[in-house]
């Protein structure tokens, strides 16, 4: 299993809700894996299989867009990963 992309979203909510997505390459296709939960509760995991990278990326990006563009309910924001932060600092020196 090869992780191609990973995103973490967090909501400003009383229970500190979070949502993680991974786009992974499998032997016979791709999967979008979703993990979600809140501060003091066990998370939920779900996965969607896609045969092509294009359709897997579409599912991945559509899910992020759905979670970050809400105007009501929980509003999620993307949290930069450690590697994104390191890339930023190495590029600015």
Question: For residue 37, how far is the Cα from the chain centroid?
Answer: 13
Q: Could you tell me the residue ranges of all domains in the chain?
A: 2-91
Top-confidence residue, 87 or 1: 1
What integer pLDDT is reported at residue 86 of this predicted model?
47
Q: Which fold has domain 2-91?
A: q64v53_bacfr protein fold (2.20.140)
The answer to whether the beta carbons of residues 46 and 39 sit under 8 Å apart is: no
The pTM is what?
0.81
Look at residue 21 and tell me whether its pLDDT is greater than 50.
yes
């Amino acid at each position: 299993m090869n992780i191609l992309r990973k995103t973490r979203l967090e909501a400003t909510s009383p229970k500190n809700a979070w949502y993680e997505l991974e786009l992974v390459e499998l032997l016979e296709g791709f999967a979008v894996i979703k993990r979600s939960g809140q501060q003091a509760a066990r998370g939920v995991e779900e996965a969607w299989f896609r045969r092509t990278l294009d359709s897997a990326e579409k599912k991945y990006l559509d899910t992020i867009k759905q979670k970050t563009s809400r105007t009501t309910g929980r509003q999620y924001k993307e949290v930069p990963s450690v590697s994104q932060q390191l890339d930023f600092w190495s590029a600015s020196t």
